């Protein structure tokens, strides 16, 4: 056909910077309450043009998410949010645009998930000590994917049974450091998670950096080591950041030469304050992470 490049292996063009991108959310495959297809429909209805499903430590929803995105005319990037321990703190690293069949990535995520079952049983034992019985079975009932049992599922159980009014209250009273149901856990190392993503052809992104309560020295170390391992981007606009925090991390993106990502971190219509696609645009002058990728 004249004017059209029909060569089978032509490189696909990188994604346009002006797309309404939402590159962070969760389905029933991890700790969200909507199926991948329902999330895709919601994203499309909210005007999302480029979407990624980023379940915690799990890529089992990717094929369903991609098919649903394509059915709604959205561009799609493969996604995941990997749990990492850095400086004795849990940090989340989002991976985008990787090959989901890559064996090292698949194995790394399997290993990361393996810790969740024993941790959940310890959490239930700790909650039983605090007078709350049956939490393991209760949390499991809320988990669409038992391999991904998480604190969110315990939180939903404690709300269901009337122990707390909402999930933030559960985290405040029971599931954060120093509280009765909190169990320390060692996740993947930062460098391992970044390498799993990059050697699978993807881009690694520091998720919601304002959430970590690091001091300036620790935060500088996180960004420096992330970059040294081959990390390429940071979430600037997310459901977890205030406008002031977005500006602060726009500055960090400039300082460290990182691209910028945008994602709601949507989990549930009942729990999430920021809906899919309903985010501020990235501050000007940044490189949108999706311009490094093709969709």
| Footprint of ligand AMP (CB under 6 A) | 31, 56, 83, 150-152, 167-168, 171, 267
Residues in CB range of 34: below 8 A, 6 or more apart: 27, 28, 42, 268, 269
Nearer to ligand AMP, 77 or 84 (CB): 84
Q: How far is the CB of 56 from ligand AMP (least distance, A)?
A: 5
User: Which of ligand AMP, Mn ion, none lies near 151, with the C-beta cut-off 5 to 8 A by kind?
Assistant: ligand AMP
Nearer to ligand AMP, 115 or 283 (CB): 115
Nearer to ligand AMP, 85 or 291 (CB): 85
Nearer to Mn ion, 79 or 138 (CB): 79
Q: How far is the CB of 142 from ligand AMP (least distance, A)?
A: 12
Nearer to ligand AMP, 68 or 143 (CB): 143
Q: Which residues bind Mn ion (CB under 5 A)?
A: 31, 81, 92, 207, 265
User: Which of Mn ion, ligand AMP, none lies near 171, with the C-beta cut-off 5 to 8 A by kind?
Assistant: ligand AMP
Q: Which residue has the CB atom at the shortest distance from ligand AMP? A: 150
Q: Whats the size of the chain, residue-wise? A: 295
Q: Which residue has the CB atom at the shortest distance from Mn ion? A: 92
Q: How far is the CB of 72 from Mn ion (least distance, A)?
A: 22
Picking from 259, 256, 254, 223, the residue whose alpha carbon sits closest to that of residue 23 is 259
Say if residues 222 and 234 touch (Cβ distance below 8 Å): no
Nearer to ligand AMP, 81 or 100 (CB): 81
* Radius of gyration of the chain from its Cα atoms, rounded to whole angstroms: 19
User: Which of Mn ion, ligand AMP, none lies near 55, with the C-beta cut-off 5 to 8 A by kind?
Assistant: none
Q: How far is the CB of 152 from Mn ion (least distance, A)?
A: 5
- Sign of the CA dihedral 235, 113, 187, 160? positive
Strand partners, 235: 261
Q: How far is the CB of 145 from Mn ion (least distance, A)?
A: 12
Q: How far is the CB of 119 from Mn ion (least distance, A)?
A: 15
């Amino acid at each position: 056909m004249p004017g059209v490049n029909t060569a089978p292996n032509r490189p696909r063009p990188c994604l346009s910077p002006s797309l309404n991108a939402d590159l962070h959310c969760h389905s029933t495959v991890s700790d969200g309450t909507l199926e991948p297809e329902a999330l895709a429909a919601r994203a499309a209805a909210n005007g999302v043009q480029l979407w990624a499903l980023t379940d915690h430590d799990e890529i089992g929803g990717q094929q369903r998410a991609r098919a649903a995105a394509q059915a709604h005319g959205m561009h799609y990037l493969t996604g995941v949010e990997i749990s990492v321990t850095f400086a004795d703190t849990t940090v989340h690293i989002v991976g985008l645009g990787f090959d989901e069949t890559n064996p090292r990535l698949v194995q790394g995520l399997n290993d990361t998930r393996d810790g969740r079952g024993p941790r959940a049983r310890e959490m239930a034992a700790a909650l039983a000590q605090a007078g709350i019985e049956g939490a393991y079975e209760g949390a499991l009932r809320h988990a669409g994917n038992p391999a991904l049992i998480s604190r969110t599922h315990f939180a939903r159980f404690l709300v269901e049974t009337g122990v707390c009014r909402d999930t933030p209250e559960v985290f405040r009273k029971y599931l954060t450091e120093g509280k009765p149901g909190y169990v320390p856990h060692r996740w993947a190392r930062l460098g391992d998670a970044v390498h799993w993503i990059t050697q699978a052809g993807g881009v690694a992104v520091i998720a919601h950096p304002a959430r970590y309560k690091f001091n300036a020295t620790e935060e500088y170390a996180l960004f420096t080591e992330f970059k040294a391992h081959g990390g390429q981007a940071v979430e600037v606009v997310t459901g977890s950041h205030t406008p002031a925090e977005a500006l602060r991390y726009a500055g960090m993106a400039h300082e460290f030469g990182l691209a910028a990502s945008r994602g709601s971190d949507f989990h549930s219509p009942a729990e999430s304050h920021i809906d899919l696609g309903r985010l501020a645009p990235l501050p000007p002058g940044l490189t949108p992470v999706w311009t490094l990728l093709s969709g």
